[in-house]
Chain A
Amino acid sequence: MKLNLGCGKEHKEGYVNIDIQEPCDLKHDLRTPLPFADDSVDEIFSEGNVISLFSLKEWRDLKKEMARVLKVGGKLEIILLDFEYVLKAFLDNKNGERWGLWWLTIFSGQENEYNFAKNGFTYEKLVADLFDEGMVNFSRKREIGGDPRFIHLICYKQSHDQKIKETMKILIGTPIHECKDYAMERWLENVSKLEYPADFMMVDNSPGLEYVEKVKGYCTKYGIKNYKIEHLEINQAQGADERIGRSREIIRQEVLSKGYDAWFSWECDQIIPLNTLDKLVQLMEEGNFAMVSQGSWSRKNPANPENELGCALIKRVCLEKYSFLLEEYWDLTRSWHAGARWFKNRLLKGGDSYVEICGVITPIYHLDG
C-alpha cells in the first residue's frame, strides 16, 4: 500500500490519495492518527509543502505516525520548500517578487482555513527530525523540475534495533575477584550469550595472578574470545570499596582511550536476560539519558530493589567528567554503595540526567555464595 499525504488536486496513480478536502480517496485530518496498522505501508509520498502546514506539535505527531505505519524498509518521499532559500529570496527581493511570490511561498496561499504555513524546514532539519523516528539512508534530489525553492528528500525506515546496533559501541566492563568464584562460571556463560554485540573487559583484583588463569579457562569453555583481562595487584586489606573503585577506574580509562560510546557496568554475580543490553540501549537513546540503571534485588533485604551500578549503562560523556578514584569520595563514608551514589550525585549536579528502572528487565538473579 502507498499513501499520498495531503494530495490536494494532485492525485497519484497507485496511491491512496489522502486529504482533508475532497476529492480524494480517503478524507482524513492528518492532525489525527493515520487510520492504518503498524508496519503496513510500503511507501509514503508528500509534496506541495504539505508538512509546513502543521504546527510543531502536529508535525511531531505526524512524523511519528508516518514512522509507525511504514514497514521496515518502507520508503518516505517528501517534497517541500527550502525555508532558508525562500527567506533569502524574500530578503533579496529576488526577481522583484518580495510581496508576491516569496511572501506567498513563506506563508502559503491562505485561500482556505487549511492552507496556512506554520512551520519551515531545511534539508538538514528534516533529516534530523526524521532520523529521530528511525528513518535512515537519506538522499536528496536537488532542484525538482529546475525549481530551486524545493528540497526533495527520500529515506527509508530502519528497525530500531538495527539503528542502535550500528550507532553505539559498548564495553562490558567488570571488576572481578576470586571471592566471587561461586558465581563466575555461570556469569561468564551468561556473558557469552548476550545478544548485543559488545567488547568485554574484566579487571581482576584478587591477590596474585592465579585467578586470572582460572577465569581465562572459563572464557575458553564458553567460547568467549573478544575479551581483555587486566590484573590489579592491591593490598587486600584495603577493602572491597577500594578494590572496586580502582578497578572501575581502569575500565573507565579503557572506555575513554578506545572510543567507546558507553560502558555497560555488570557485576559478576548478576544473571540477566540476554536482551538486557538491547533494552538499556533503547531506553538510553529514546530518552537521551546519561545513564540507565536497572535495579536488582538486595541480598540482605530481598524485597528491596537496589540500583547501584550492578547492571547499568553509562554514557561516555559521564566518564569523561567523573572518575572512580576513592580519594574523590569526599563527602560519603565508605561502603559498597558510596561509589555509585557519589557518581550519581555528580551526574545530577553536573546537569546530566539518568534513570533508574525496576521490574523492566526481568528476571535478574543476584547470586550469593
Chain B
Amino acid sequence: MKILIGTPIHICKDYCMERWLENVSKLEYPADFMMVDNSPGLEYVEKVKGYCTKYGIKNYKIEHLELPMEQGVFERVARSREIIRQEVLSHDYDAWFSWECDQLIPTNSLGKLVDIIKSGNFQIVEVNSWAREFPDEPNTDGGVALFKRELLERHSFILESRTVLGVPSAWETGEAKFREQAIKNGGGYVKVYGVISPIYHLDK
C-alpha cells in the first residue's frame, strides 16, 4: 500500500511540532510525507524545514497556503486537507494517513492500520485518542486515520460542500461526511479503540 502521510500545520502548533516530527522520522511503515502550512507568511515553513533537517527527514514536501486569518481554523484545515487530497490523487497513492501534528503515536501504528484496513476492506480506519476537554472521553475525529484513495476520489474537503448539506462548521463535520460516504460506497468504516496505544494528544 503506497501511502502519503499528509498533515495541515500552523504556527500555533509549534509547541508540539518538533516532538511530532521526531515521531514522524521514526515511523516504521515506509510512506511519503507532506505538510501544508497555513500560517501567516512563509517564516514558519523555514522553521519546520529546520526541524526536518534536525531529525533526518528528507522524503517530504511542504506547501504553503496563504489565507486571511479571519477565515478561521475550519477553513484553514479544510483547504489544507484539500491540497493533500489532490496530492494523493495525482501521485497514485493508495491511501492518505491523516495524522494531526499534536498527536504522538507508536512507531508501528501505520503498519497496524494498514493491516486492519486490508482485513476488512474498509474505507476508513480511525484511531481513538483522548479528548483534551474531557480526558475520560475517547475521541475519534480523524486525528489519526487512514483513508482509502477511492473515498478521496469522490469527495473533497472544501467547505462549500458542507454548507450545502446544512451542517454547521465544526471540527467533526468533515469527518462525518466522509464516514457517511464510506457507508454509501459499501466498504464501511471502522473505529479502533485501544489498538494503537499509547497516544499522546499534546496540549500547551
Cα separation A328 to B122 with both chains bound (whole Å): 35
Q: A283-B119, A283-B120, A286-B119 are in contact. Are A358 and B183 (CB under 8 A)?
A: yes
Chain B residues numbered 67-124 whose CB sits less than 8 Å from any CB in chain A: 116, 119-120, 122
Name B180's closest neighbour in chain A (CB-CB).
Answer: A303
With known contacts A355-B190, A360-B188, A289–B195 Cβ distance under 8 A: yes
Closest Cβ of chain B to A118, distance in Å, is 17
Q: A303-B180, A331-B136, A345-B136 are in contact. Are A360 and B120 (CB under 8 A)?
A: yes
Q: With A344-B138, A347-B193, A351-B194 known to touch, is A359 a contact of B119 (CB < 8 Å)?
A: no
Measured between beta carbons, the chain B residues less than 8 angstroms from A360 are 120, 122, 187-190
Q: Considering only CB atoms, which chain B residue lies closest to A304 in the complex? A: B176
Cα A356 to Cα B194 with chains together (Å):
12
- Chain B residues whose C-beta falls within 8 Å of the C-beta of A207 in the assembled complex: none
Could you say which interface size class chain B belongs to?
20 to 34
A352 contacts the other chain (CB 8 A)? yes
Our pick among A345, A356, A362 for the contact of B191 (Cβ within 8 Å) is A356
* Interchain CB contact under 8 A, B189 and A354: no
**What does DSSP make chain B's interface, helix, strand, loop or mixed?**
mixed
Distance between Cα atoms of A347 and B197 in the complex (Å): 13
Given contacts A286-B119, A345-B136, contact A357 B190 (CB under 8 A): yes
How far apart sit A351 and B122, CA to CA, in the bound complex (Å)?
24
Query: Which residues on the B side are within 8 Å of A93 (C-beta)?
Result: none
**A344–B120 touching, CB < 8 Å:** no
Chain B residues with Cβ under 8 A from A290's Cβ? 194
**Bound CA span A360–B180, Å:** 12
Inter-chain CA distance A287–B117, complex, in Å, is 11
In the complex, whether B179 has a CB less than 8 A from a CB of chain A is: yes
Contact A344 B190 (CB under 8 A): no
CB pair B188 A353 closer than 8 Å:
no
Which A residues lie within 8 Å of B128 (CB)?
Answer: 348
Contact digits for A43-78, partner B, Cβ 8 Å, 1 yes 0 no:
000000000000000000000000000000000000
Given contacts A283-B119, A286-B119, A287-B116, contact A359 B187 (CB under 8 A): yes
A289-310 residues with Cβ-Cβ distance < 8 A to B are 289-290, 303, 305, 307
Number of residues of chain A lying within 8 A (CB) of chain B: 25
Residues of chain B contacted by A355 (CB below 8 angstroms): 116, 190-193, 195
Q: A352's contact among B138, B184, B194, by CB below 8 Å, is which?
A: B194
Contacts known (A358-B179, A359-B182); A344 close to B193, Cβ less than 8 A: yes
CA distance A351 to B196 in the complex (A): 11
Contact check, B187 vs A353: say whether CB atoms are below 8 A apart.
no
Contact B120 A358 (CB under 8 A): no
| A357 B189 Cβ-Cβ under 8 A | yes
Tell me if B183 and A359 are in contact (CB < 8 A).
yes
Does B197 lie within 8 Å of A353, measured CB to CB? Answer: yes
For residues 270 through 294 of chain A, which have their beta carbon under 8 Å from a beta carbon of chain B? Answer: 283, 286-287, 289-290
User: Is there contact, CB below 8 Å, between B180 and A348?
Assistant: no
Contacts of B136 in A (CB 8 A): 331, 345
- Give residues 317-369 of A contacting B (CB, 8 Å): 331, 344-345, 347-348, 351-362
Binary flags per residue of A251-270, CB closer than 8 Å to B gives 1, else 0: 00000000000000000000
Chain B hits for A305, CB < 8 A = 179, 183
Distance between Cα atoms of A205 and B179 in the complex (Å)? 36
Which residues of B, 168-191, contact A by the 8 Å Cβ criterion?
179-180, 182-184, 186-191
Query: Which chain A residues border B189 with CB–CB below 8 Å?
Result: 357-360
Q: For residue A193, give the distance in angstroms from its CB to the closest CB of chain B.
A: 23
Q: How far is the CA of A362 from the CA of B191 in the complex (A)?
A: 17
CA distance in complex: A353, B186 (Å): 25
Minimum distance in angstroms from B73 CB to a CB of chain A: 24
Chain B residues near A347 (CB, 8 Å)?
Answer: 193-194
B18 to A: closest C-beta gap in Å: 29
Check if A356 sits within 8 Å of B138, measured CB to CB: no
Interchain CB contact under 8 A, B179 and A353: no
Give the residues in chain A near B138, CB-CB below 8 Å.
344-345, 348
Residues of B within 8 A of A (CB): 116, 119-120, 122, 128, 136, 138, 179-180, 182-184, 186-195, 197
9 contacts between A and B (CB under 8 A): A289-B192, A307-B191, A347-B194, A353-B194, A355-B116, A355-B193, A360-B187, A360-B189, A362-B183
